[in-house]
Amino acid sequence: MLLRKLVAKFLGSVAVAVVPRWRMQMAEANIRECLGVDEARAAEIAADSLHRFGRMVVEVMRFPLLNKDNIDKKVKVEGLEYLEAAYAQGKGVIMATGHYGNWELLGATVALHGYPMLSITRKQNNGHMDKLINEFRQMVGQKVTYNRGEHGLLAISRMLREKNLLGILYDQDTNDDGVRIDLFGKDSVIPMGPAALSRIYGSPILPIFLHNNTDGTCTAKIYPPLYTPKTKNKEQDFYAVTRELVTILEHEIIAHPEMWFWVHDRWKDGRQRFGRKK
């Protein structure tokens, strides 16, 4: 346990050291604007947000040691009854989360509880890293598809038709069509995937977020299900449920701001505002 903490601390420090300065400036500015905190607190949250990646890497590297018999010792699940009831409906389940806490461990937790899980992911620029990450995802029972391309769309549709689970990250602007909604008062485009798929298949959407505990364990919190209505106004249907998802995301970030991935250029203006400064 002590060794893992030391390795996690070291890797977190490396992350802080290697991230370009302009990204840290952007993160601190976004934290001030979104949360209304002062400069000192914003710098602390930004640094903590990066430091936690050391722990995340260590947890992922331990995936080979996880199984259905010991996952409950690592991750406590709150709201598991919502998942059980949603799955029993036989319409598939959309697990909606963000780049918050250890989202990789979150997918592993759901899969190791015995649920057929497909995680939608972005293909990494580095092919070797992409292959390595996907191998770790698969060793804990997840299936993986990319968020772009014909094969990804076919896999997504097939998983829901076959009444399985689909994991979607909905907190970043993917440059695709989305729903325009303010996130912390900042004009944002939110992916409409969860809302659209729920409307098509009638699948329940379960917001789910993973929190780090100080004793080295984690807690996965599952919210009650959301459903996209199916009226004549499709755009309004998408907006209504996506607005609810954004409200939950904001609540989670406010409660534990260091758990969110602040160094991502979420609003696509970081490079312009901070001029690629390091």
> Residue 152: pLDDT band by 50, 70, 90 thresholds?
low
Q: 106-129: per-residue pLDDT in tens?
A: 999 999 999 988 887 777 777 777
Span of 64-73, 133-142, 154-163 with lowest mean pLDDT: 154-163
Q: What is the pLDDT of residues 247-263, one digit of tens each?
A: 999 999 999 999 999 99
Q: What would the two tokens of residue 127 be?
A: 């092919």
Quick one: average pLDDT of 91-104? 94
- 69-81 average pLDDT score: 96
pLDDT of residue 149: 52
- 137 pLDDT more than 90: no
Closest CA to 120 of 90, 96, 92: 96
**pLDDT on residue 25:** 95
Query: How many C-beta atoms lie closer than 10 Å to residue 177's C-beta?
Result: 11
Between strands 178-183 and 186-191, the pairing is: antiparallel
What was the pLDDT predicted at 278? Answer: 44
pLDDT tens digits for 196-214?
999 999 999 999 999 999 9
Mean pLDDT score, 163-183 = 87
**Are 129 and 82 spatial neighbours (Cβ–Cβ below 8 Å)?**
no
Counting residues of the chain whose pLDDT is more than 90, the rounded percentage is 68
Which is more confidently placed, 80 or 130? 80
Contact of 270 with 26, CB cutoff 8 Å = yes
In this prediction, residue 62 has a pLDDT band, given cuts at 50, 70 and 90, of very high
DSSP output for 215-249 = TS-EEEEEPPPB-----S-HHHHHHHHHHHHHHHH
Identify the band that residue 220 occupies on the pLDDT scale cut at 50, 70 and 90. very high
| 14-43 pLDDT per residue, tens | 888 889 999 999 999 999 999 999 999 999
Does 79 score more than 60 pLDDT? yes
